[in-house]
Structure 1
Amino acid sequence: MKKKWSVLVIMLFVGAIVLSAAACSPAEKKQEAGSNGEIILATTTSTQDSGLLDYILPDFESQTGIAVKVVAVGTGKAIEMGKNGEADVLLVHARAQEDQFVADGYATERFDVMYNDFVVLGPKDDPAKVKTTAGNDAVKAFTAIAAVPSTFVSRDDASGTNTKELAIWKAASITPEGDWYVRTGTGMGDTLTVTNEKLGYTLADRATYSNMKETMSGLEIVCEGGALLLNPYGVMAVSPTINDQINGEGAQAFVDWIISEDTQKLIGSYKINGDQQFTPGTAK
C-alpha cells in the first residue's frame, strides 16, 4: 500500500511540474492590457484612419501588458504634445520636424518604421485634366489644378500630409488662395469626406484612402508615384527628462517592439482588399 501511495505522490508531483512548465511556455505569455501600466501614443490620423493601429496594437498590449492610449492628431500637434510632455511616444511622418525634435533634445533618437505614399485624388471627370497632363509628377498635378482653378481641399492642420502638400505648392511656385482652396483644419478621414462631397482634389495618404475608398464614390486617384510622394514614418520615445509623467520604460518598450522583426512583418502583412498598405523599414 505504501508503495502505491509513493507512486501516486510521484505522479502528482510530476504532473504539477508539467502543468507549471506549460503555464510558463512562450505561447502562453500573453498579458492583459494595462497590467503593466499605460503609454500615450501621439500619432497621425492616417495611422488611425487607415486601420493599421487596430491591426497591430493588440499584439503589443498582449506581449507587454502595457495599454496604449492613442491620440490621433496631425504630426505637428503630435510633436507639440511630445515637447509638452503630454505623450510618451510619437509615431509620425514629417521627417524634418522629427529630426528637429531629436536635435532639440526632446528624444534621443528617431527610428524608421515603415513607408507608403501619398496620392493626389480628384473627381472622376477630372476637370483639371491631371491624369492626362501630370503623369506621376505631383508638381504638374498641383499646377494644373491651380490653373483652372479647381476646388482643392487642404487639411490645413500642420500634419505630415499638410506639410507635404505645402512643399508641393512651394515646388510649383504657387501660393494657394481664394475660394477654390478649401481649408478643413481636420484629419485625413474628415478631409476626404469633404473632398468627396465637394468633388474636389486633395492630397491623401494611400492607406487612409484605401480604407475609405468604398465611401468615396466621387473620387479616384489622378496622380501617383514619384519620389516626391513617398511617405516615411518614424517613431521616437519622448525623453523622460521633460517631466515626471513620462512613461520612459513603456515608451522604449513600444519603440523596441515596433522596429522588431516580428512587428515589421506584421506591418507588412496589413492589407486592404488584398493590397499591402505599408512597407516596413526605410523609404529609399
Structure 2
Amino acid sequence: MAKRRSRPRRTPRATILRRRRIAFGVVALVLVGLVMLAIAPLVSLTAAWNTEVRRQAVDLRDFDPGTLISDAEFYDGDAMTAGEIQSFLDDQVGECRDDSCLARLRTELPARGPIVSDATGATVCEGYDGGELSAAEIIDRIQRACGISAKVLLVTLQKEQSLVSGRTARAPSPEQLGAAMGARCPDDAPCDPGRSGFALQIAQGATDLKSYSASDFMRQPGQHYIAYSPDPSCGGSDVTITNEATAALYNYTPYQPNPAAIAARWGTGDACSAYGNRNFALYWALWFG
C-alpha cells in the first residue's frame, strides 16, 4: 500500500505578516540611516552657512562707544537657566574633540562666602556652594551670585579666549581655560596663578565686573578719555560713558576700537586697533542682539 505524501506545513498568516513587518522595519531603519549619513554633511554645511550669513549681517554702523550694553541686560542675574546655557554651548561649540570643551567640561568650583565692598559696604557677590559642576552650571551659579548676566559671561569667554565658538572652542588648551575670562591677566604678564582655571576665572571675572559699580571703583559714568590701544602714540578720544555697564566693560578692557577696527568688523584693522570691546559688541549682536 503506497504511502500518502504529507502536505507541507503551512505558515500561519499572522506569522507571515509579522515577519514582513519586521523585514520592512529593518529595511526602513537601514534606509533612514543611509539618508541621515547622506544629509549630515549638508546639515553641517547649512548650519555653518547660516552662521556666516548672520555674521555678515552684523555691522557696527551704529556703534556707540559710550553705550556698549544696557544696565538691564548686563546686570541680569537671571538671564539664562543652566539648561539654556548648556543648550547654547552645545549649539555653539558643535562637535567637541575632547572633554575640555565647555559643552562637556566638568570641574571643581570652590565654595565662596559673600564678598562685600570695603569702600561702600555694598554686596558685590553673594556666597555660593561649591562642587564638581559642568561649565554651564558654573556660569549659572556665578551669574546668580554676582548679578552679572550669563550672556555677558559667555560673550566675555568668547572675546577673551574663543571658548564658545570656533575651532579653539572644540578643544581648548589648559592655558586657554586657565585664562578663560582674562581676569587678572594683564597684557604684559602672566595671569595671577591664584585666579587660574576655568571656575576661578568665571568667579573672578564676574566679581570684577560687578565690583566697579558696587565699590564705586575706577571709571564711572561720565566723560573719560579712552585710548585706542596700549600704545600711547595711537591716541584715543573722549567718550561720554552713559551707564555703569559700559563703564565696567572699559574698566575690564580699557580700550575702544578705532575707526579701522570698526570698519574691519570681524577682520583686522591696523596697528593701532584693539578688538576686545569691538568683539564684545559683535558677539553680543550676533548671539543676543
Question: TM (normalized to structure 2)?
Answer: 0.25
Higher helix share: 2
Bigger radius of gyration, 1 or 2?
A: 2
Question: TM (normalized to structure 1)?
Answer: 0.25
Greater relative contact order (CA < 8 Å, ≥ 6 in sequence): 1
